[in-house]
Amino acid sequence: MSLVAVTGASGFVGRRVVERLAADGRYHVRALTRRKDWTPPPPVDVAVVGGLGGETDYAAPLTGVDAVVHCAARVHVMRDRAADPLAEFRTANVVGTARLARQAAAAGVRRFVFLSSIKVNGEATAPGKPFTAYDVPHPIDPYGISKLEAEDALRAISAETGLEVVVIRPVLVYGPGAKGNVLSLKKWLRRGVPLPLGAIENRRSLVAVDNLVDLVVTCLDHPEATGRTLLVSDGEDLSTTDLLRRTARAMGVEARLIPVPQRILEAGARLLGQGSIARRLCASLQVDIRETRELLGWAPPVRVDCALQTMAHADATSGG
């Protein structure tokens, strides 16, 4: 069986990758974490490697490894307090990723699956013009810039060493334990807060964590994945209004949505200094996953409503 090392193994996506690989039966799994603060499913081997950066030594935990799934990253935050956010993102996401990849190549690792971000493409799409993997990158924030630079570094290392690199750019990932915007939406719905979001006509691509993990596992061995940049989503785009209604239905609560016209909502948000929030709620961001489907013979195995129900049930039983 192949030995797969997963970085960021205790994180939201990394944990699900570890669980899926451990249950698969075709892989041995080595979970790489900053600290041993969780118990993975047996028989997963845990290696504590410290934080991302230019000093981390991966030589021992990469011994005998066939493939790496690199989930660890300094993630996008809304209110970054770092004095130089871009420098912090570059240290973790560019320097740290390149160091891991070079040590992986030196250890004889065959394939390196890198979880990047759709933020490499940009922050929004025009109606009917979804992002593709061939678009000229246009990252806006330090996180997106660092992910693009990490992709470029990996391609250079691949050309130099022969390491097989696969880049996956997910859209917003949701599922049990999701934080950020997903958690905020669920809190609003659970509390019955009236929301002026009943007439949003945007289109957003999302990806359930189980669909993302399924693609990651597919990319570990698929010959057509080598050297590719792959976009991933659920294959069904939703408006913010539709997402709220379907999430509320899965949670068994009422979505109290007020149909404020989108242009009025955006104008009011700008007057209140909340234009960035309005853009996230009202703008479109779609991705075209036809190439991912056709190259790999892959399709998202979980439908949106099933994924929302799974998230709602898990959060209810965990008290989340």
3-state secondary structure the chain: CEEEEEECCCCHHHHHHHHHHHHHCCEEEEEEECCCCCCCCCCCEEEECCCCCCCCCCCCCCCCCCEEEECCCCCCCCCCCCCCHHHHHHHHHHHHHHHHHHHHHHCCCCEEEEECCHHHCCCCCCCCCCECCCCCCCCCCHHHHHHHHHHHHHHHHHHHHCCEEEEEEECEEECCCCCHHHHHHHHHHHHCCCECCCCCCCCECEEEHHHHHHHHHHHHHCHHHCCCEEEECCCCCECHHHHHHHHHHHHCCCCCECCCCHHHHHHHHHHCCCHHHHHHHHCCECECCHHHHHHHCCCCCCCHHHHHHHHHHHHHHHCC
Given 27, 58, 143, 174, the catalytic residue: 143
Distance CA 175, CA 300 (A): 14
Upper half-sphere CA count for residue 270 (Cβ side, 13 Å) = 8
Q: Is 27 a catalytic residue?
A: no
Tell me the catalytic residues: 143
